[in-house]
Amino acid sequence: MPLKVEFLFDFGSPNAYLAEIAIPGIERRTGVKFAYVPILLGGIFKATGNMSPFDSLRGIKNKPEYQALETQRFIRRHNVTKFRQNPFFPVNTLMLMRGAVAAQFEGVFEPYFRAAYHHMWEEPKKMDDLEIFRSAFISSGIDIDRLIARAQQDDVKKRLIDLTNDAVSRGAFGSPTFFVGKEMFFGKDQLRDVEESIVEQTRQPVSKTA
């Protein structure tokens, strides 16, 4: 069976945005395609008692500054040029994530995904405001009214809930989370280990001849 490699993401996570930029390089080097799995980060936080670094690091001396330094190192290592902090962070991503599921069902996930990340972390906007949300996607050529309507249907809502609950049941507590087969990795800084695990799990055993 082919190795299943999954990228569990929520558009509200800047670290998931940064991690995704490195995925195509890993795919080229390993020959393995990642499956993009939408999850609702707020649901995961509620289920696990976790919270975003925006909240958990508030008031802590030195740690936020160090994490900002690590982010800059990651940006330099991967030559990230378009990333901008979203001044409206944190953003409620329920519309965005339901839209991602709807886009997968409708076969337009790639353009929707790129547009969502563009308007969250490249030309940042308040993407939990419905009118701003609509205008942003329309400007990117997305038939967003069709996806908004699709996102209100029960199968889309259930799919997002099921993916989120499944992520928690497998050990996830945030985003980005990666699964290489059954092995879980959390955070953009684990991408080297993700790639190493892919190589190890896809390495063909050497046949022995008598």
Q: How many residues does the chain have?
A: 210
Using one digit for the tens of pLDDT, what is the confidence trace for 7-24? 999 999 999 999 999 999
In order of 56, 62, 161, 186, the CA distances from 65 in angstroms are 14, 5, 34, 20
The string over 103-131, giving b where at least 16 C-beta atoms fall within 10 Å of a residue's C-beta and e elsewhere, is bbbeeebeebbebbbbbbbeebbbbbeee
Share of the chain above pLDDT 90, in %: 85
Report whether pLDDT(55) > 90: no
Domain topology for 5-203? Glutaredoxin (3.40.30)
Tokens (6 digits) for 40:
């609702």
Give residue 63's pLDDT band: very low, low, confident or very high (50, 70, 90).
confident
Q: How many CB atoms lie within 10 A of CB 193?
A: 14
Residue 201 confidence (pLDDT): 95
Candidate list 13, 52, 175, 197, residue with the active-site label: 13
Give residue 58's pLDDT band: very low, low, confident or very high (50, 70, 90).
confident
Report the greatest alpha carbon distance in the chain: 70
Share of the chain above pLDDT 70, in %: 95
Report whether pLDDT(78) > 60: yes
Report whether pLDDT(209) > 70: no
Q: Read off φ and ψ for residue 193, nearest 5 degrees.
A: -70, -35
Q: Judge whether 175 counts as a catalytic residue.
A: no
